[in-house]
Chains A and B, each alone.
Chain A
Amino acid sequence: MNHQHDMRPIQKHPLNVRVFHYLLLLSFLPLAATGLLLFFKPLTQEAMQLTYDIHIIAGVVMAADCVAFTLMAFDRVLLFTARVFSFGKSDLGWFKVLGGYPQKFLLGKKVAVPPMRKYNSGQKLFGACVLIGGTLLVFSGLVLWLMPHIAPREAVYLLGQVHLVAGLILTAFLPVHLFLAVYRFDDFKAMMLHGNVPYHDAAEYTPLWVEKEVVPVSGEKGC
């Protein structure tokens, strides 16, 4: 069936996920910026102190956001975990052509890409890094902020290094994520506004998700 102009809405990002993502966006952007400033220390002492204070406040917001979402939407966290850690032959195929993006951007060519579920292989890799890196950042950040004086020195040093490496990796992912998020504009609107993608967009980018996981709302009991 051709879904080229099918605009029927599919709910992709429910409200709780969108609220979690808003808070993550509001906290992680200042965290990345202040984190880089804290690493390179280019400012005066007073400005560095202000940078540190902003980093702490934004860190508390992010930690509270992550803990609250994990407790309140544990099923969604588990589903996300299961999705990002699944790996198969189609992922290998996706990575071989990098989702067809370089060919599209650099050569103007369209190449065949293995069909994907809700997240493509690149998003899954990013999701796994966010899940592991985010957990490490929250945990190490809380220890470094709240108990550096009572924790053993070598543990504080190790957690400081973990915080630095995880922060730099996730910050490096950020421009790529922002660019591709805006490039997939239907998905961008879904995450930032109403939660829904048009059927044609889902069928083009995430055909297996549409085929195996998406159901009509009126057809499901309790919806």
Chain B
Amino acid sequence: MNNKPYLFAESRFLLSRRKFIALGGAFVAALALPVGWFSQKLMQRNDYIKARSKGLYRDDATAMLRVSHANPAVEKYYRDFGGEPLGHVSHELLHTHFIDRTRLKS
């Protein structure tokens, strides 16, 4: 006995099991493609930073001079001209002064 408000409906067996699996697989694959593409982009987003730090570490490891206070040019500056580190002449010459150049202050 039909107690529904309609007399006809679509057959419930329009979609065979084989077609369901094939279509479902294609559907999920189509959805997985953009997600996969984006995840890959997300994973690779810091690759250039990592490559840059790797290069810096490699340069550091192979450098003849690895610390600034052992730099012959710096040693020569203090010996012939600047006196001592943090001394008066060095402070006058090397200290940086800042000027407030902010134009807009709200």
Contact = CB atoms under 8 A, between A and B. Distances in A.
A220 B7 CA distance: 11
Contacts of B11: 213-215, 220
Which of B4, B8, B24, B31 has the most CB atoms of chain A within a 10 A radius of its CB? Answer: B8
Interface stretch (A52-60, A78-86, A102-110, A174-182): A78-86
B8 A135 contact: no
Contacts of A196: 5-6
B27 interface: yes
Q: Interface extent on B, as a size class?
A: 20 to 34
Given A11-B10, A215-B8, A143 B15 contact: no
A199 interface: yes
B10 A81 contact: no
Interface in A189-223: 194-196, 199, 213-218, 220, 222-223
Contact of A152 (B2, B5, B42): B42
Contacts of B41: 151-152, 155
A74 interface: yes
A8 B31 CA distance: 40
Contacts of A150: 42, 45
B18 to A, nearest CB: 12
A217 B23 contact: no
B38 A143 contact: yes
Nearest to A195: B6
Contacts of A78: 15, 20, 23-24, 27
B14 A213 contact: yes
Given A151-B42, A213-B10, A220-B12, A81 B5 contact: no
Contacts of B6: 9-11, 195-196, 217
Interface of B: 1-2, 4-12, 14-15, 19-20, 23-24, 27, 31, 34-35, 38, 41-42, 44-45
Interface of A: 8-11, 74-75, 77-79, 81-82, 118, 135-136, 139, 143, 147, 150-152, 155, 194-196, 199, 213-218, 220, 222-223
13 contacts: A9-B6, A10-B8, A11-B8, A78-B15, A81-B23, A81-B27, A143-B38, A151-B41, A152-B41, A155-B41, A214-B9, A217-B9, A222-B12
